[in-house]
A and B are shown apart, each in its own frame.
Chain A
Amino acid sequence: MMKIVAGFGALEDYEVLVRAGADELFTGYTPLEWNLKYGNTLPMNRREVLFYHTQIGNFEDMKILSEKVKEYKVPVTIAMNALYYTKGQIEVIIQTIRELCEIGFTDYIVADLNLIRALVQSDINCSIHMSGEIGQWNTPEMELFNEWFHGDKIKRIIFHRKNSLMHMKRCVQFGKEIDFADEYEAFLMNEKCHYTGGFCNSLHCDELVHLCQLEYRMVSDAVFCGEQAASWLDDESETYIPGQTGCGLCALYKMKNAGITHLKLVGRGESAECMTKDIMAVKMALDILEETETEDKYISTMKNILFEKGCSGECYYEDVR
């Protein structure tokens, strides 16, 4: 069965999400020294805020988390997934990863090819999950990266939000043929974006809204076409619907056939309560998937049970049918 990978932003949430049924968790870690030098201006990962619980900010909590992982045996991957780092930052990150490896954190989500290069060339015994924030995924690129980063440190490929199901299937098959990575992760729930993560160079900070959420108006050469705005700004429904800001549950059948091994539930910064509900919904969908033989049957059963009052319509995978 495909595994549920959920994000969390505070130590307290680990056990909550484990109890909800997550198979694997991911979070960020930014030590004080990094924040003192770079703040959230050149951040250590893609959660570029200070005023929210989106990651862990002290080594004591990482030590405690490590003990919890040993107890519950639900592993935690650490996101070091900024689009790029400076040379000086890479030196700091390598040292940070050494310290984290010593207390048992061996898996890292990385988007910067230069950091991946440095990790592959280092003597650090860690595994790399190549982030969806790298940009595009395609088979020639996998071949190139297999040559650049040969060895056994590349463990997983994370597809980005806009990869089609057909395309993921092709990449998984090719990855297996060239023995590139063992695991393939796809986005399943929350935070669907209008732009591709790897090509989004704008601010995601506390003090300004995301660039893609600014109000805009479409005009043509001839006429003013009316006002548009990012639709989710007004979407403040208080009733819980799974995947309210992005959902791929209808695609689970095809994902399984495509060879996807892990399912990402975006959640660093989300409340543990919402994440718990999301994890439980996905677990239920996975159970339905196991018990149904056809895609149609899976989708109709799953929708009847999970979306009695309708779904969000924020589909991650438009090519599901």
Chain B
Amino acid sequence: VAKKYPLTVFDIPDSLLVCKLTGDGEINCKIVEMSPEHMLVRLAKDTSVSSERLIFHAFFFEENGYVSFGPFFAERTELTESKFDRTVCYEIESAEYKTMVKDFCKQYQNYIRLKSGSMDNGFSKELVKYPAEKDECFSQSYDEWMDKTGVSDKLHDAIEQVFRERTDIELAVELDNDSKYSSFLEDNYDDKNVFGSLINDKRVDRIYIGNAYCGKLFPEDGTLEKLLEKAKERKMSCTIVLPLMEDGELEDEMKRLETVLKASERYDYLLEIEVNDWGMLRLLQKTDMISEKCEILLGRLLNKRRKDPRYDYKWGWSSLEDKKYNSLDDDSYRLLLKENGIDRFELETCGYEISIPEGKNSLHLPFYQTNTSQYCPMYALKNYGDRGHQKGCKNCPKYCMNHYLMYPDHLLMIGKYNSIYALDIWTLEQIDVLNSYLEKGVDRLVVNI
């Protein structure tokens, strides 16, 4: 048929363009070929079609979504019948149809041209006005980057405003690496250090100890006890953060768990434990500690959500109401977690408004995780010069204590530890949103700067 119609295009993904045959019922089918005058569709052998009425749903990126066209009335010809399917040809005489086909093909070709001609973000600039020219601008150091973001002042202001009106909200800070453990134990904080100033101002009610993403950053032997002791001295509550369990290191994880449980016994604490691995939840369930001496929190790695600092450029994102929900908004799922001893959910702010589930919720801010690797990309990059050349390592040199992966400044992203994080300035500036979270059930803010 294509020979008859010189402007025929083939092989259009049916995620972009679908033909709906309408009549007694509706049949969505694949367009095998198409020109401004005709169209071939593929049908299953047992599908009967009586209608010559066609509706099209075509994705147009300029429209941020699908546009429907038709109905068009067409002359139908049964063409071929193979062992598995049959092909039907429709000849369509319609100016609107012609325009649709031309416009659609133009944008499809345009996409292919842009994508094949650009391996960086040039195509995104044309497609979604992504500011590709800003990708050239990198900070030369972590401190420079932090200063440019202005996050310290913005965080300080947000906390001031929130706690001016609310006295029933707990304020927590994360101690998630060796440097922070030392600072806390020695009361020795960098001038620029926000969590240091919060602690010095005696505003912090709770500390989170441990790194959710990397087990190598858990406090070493003896340090955990000292941290707990120091927290008790300062009348702070504690949450122990248990990380993703490393591949094949079950014995180490058991030992870590034992240390935590012993520490909790020694100090007679009601401890909270954030789990970031379902296996760790199982190990905890096997102890008799859960209900008596500790509460279990659903960790950030287990609480999945769409997180990327570039969502504002994403087609269809701003108008999508359901983006704020995740699994925790399903009562059946929450029940499953509750039956398994999980009492609290760890949420992150992530640049857009999220739904707050029923129950107890902590909100981590201003950083949120986007990507994590079980094996360390930083270790691979430093040791082998290739971030993808990842291996497990027994004795981690902790390059992450003073190395970072810097991304273009405008993205507010940083590679740190075994993960990529982004900075959510938007929520810090939307005090109404932050207050609405508190009204809906967030009773704790956890500063992770």
Contact = CB atoms under 8 A, between A and B. Distances in A.
Interface in B97-125: 108, 111-112, 115, 119-121, 123-124
Contact of A162 (B27, B213, B373, B389): B373
B70 interface: no
Interface residues of A, number: 93
B381 to A, nearest CB: 6
B444 interface: no
Interface residues of B, number: 112
Nearest to B280: A140
A218 B405 contact: yes
Nearest to A67: B84
Interface stretch (B217-225, B288-296, B316-324, B434-442): B316-324
B372 interface: yes
Interface in A45-97: 49-61, 63-64, 67-68, 71, 83-90
A140 B284 CA distance: 10
Given A56-B14, A214-B407, A233 B119 contact: yes
Given A71-B84, A196-B372, A211-B420, A135 B301 contact: yes
Contacts of B13: 50-54, 57
B57 A36 contact: yes
A194 B387 contact: yes
Contact of B282 (A41, A59, A118, A144): A144
B408 A215 contact: yes
Contact of A117 (B112, B127, B336): B336
A240 interface: no
Nearest to A236: B119
Contacts of A135: 244, 277-278, 301-302
A59 B108 CA distance: 23
A41 B316 contact: yes
Nearest to A42: B322
Contacts of A56: 14
Contacts of B426: none
Interface string B199-231: 000000000000001000000000000000000
A218 B322 contact: no
B167 interface: no
Contact of B111 (A31, A51, A83): A51
Nearest to B144: A219
A106 interface: no
A314 B285 CA distance: 39
A167 B16 CA distance: 42
Contact of B404 (A87, A194, A219, A232): A219
A71 B83 contact: yes
A127 interface: no
Contacts of B336: 114, 117, 148
A112 B330 CA distance: 13
Contact of B317 (A32, A41, A170, A201): A41
A218 B112 CA distance: 32
B308 A201 contact: yes
B403 A64 contact: no
Q: Which residue, B16, B57, B84, B325, has most C-beta atoms of chain A within 10 A?
A: B84
Interface stretch (B1-9, B37-45, B149-157): B37-45
Interface stretch (B135-143, B180-188, B358-366): B135-143
A167 B247 contact: yes
A38 to B, nearest CB: 7
Contact of B304 (A83, A139, A228): A83
Contacts of B281: 144
Interface in B361-415: 369-375, 377, 381, 386-392, 402-408, 411, 413, 415
A290 interface: no
A209 to B, nearest CB: 6
Given A195-B420, A219-B403, A60 B29 contact: yes
B248 A211 contact: no
B403 A162 contact: no
B187 to A, nearest CB: 22
A38 B320 contact: yes
Contact of B375 (A11, A49, A162, A200): A162
Interface stretch (B59-67, B170-178, B264-272): B59-67
B94 interface: no
B277 A136 contact: yes
Nearest to B307: A201
B194 interface: no
B370 A61 contact: no
Contacts of A170: 248
Interface in A164-220: 164, 166-167, 170, 192, 194-196, 199-203, 205-209, 211-212, 214-220
Nearest to A56: B14
21 contacts: A38-B320, A39-B316, A40-B15, A61-B29, A63-B47, A87-B330, A117-B332, A140-B278, A141-B278, A144-B282, A145-B278, A194-B373, A194-B387, A202-B420, A203-B314, A207-B315, A208-B314, A215-B120, A221-B402, A230-B388, A319-B392
A-B interface, 6 closest residue pairs, ranked by CB to CB distance from nearest: A57-B14, A141-B279, A63-B44, A140-B279, A140-B282, A199-B372
Given A113-B327, A217-B405, 18 more contacts: A31-B28, A53-B11, A58-B28, A60-B30, A88-B325, A114-B327, A135-B244, A136-B277, A148-B336, A162-B374, A195-B373, A195-B377, A203-B308, A203-B310, A206-B111, A207-B314, A218-B406, A233-B119
Interface of B: 11, 13-16, 18, 20, 27-30, 42-47, 57, 59, 61, 65-66, 83-85, 108, 111-112, 115, 119-121, 123-124, 127-128, 130, 135, 138-143, 213, 244-245, 247-248, 250, 277-283, 285, 301-302, 304-308, 310-311, 313-317, 320, 322-323, 325-327, 329-330, 332-333, 336, 340, 369-375, 377, 381, 386-392, 402-408, 411, 413, 415, 419-420
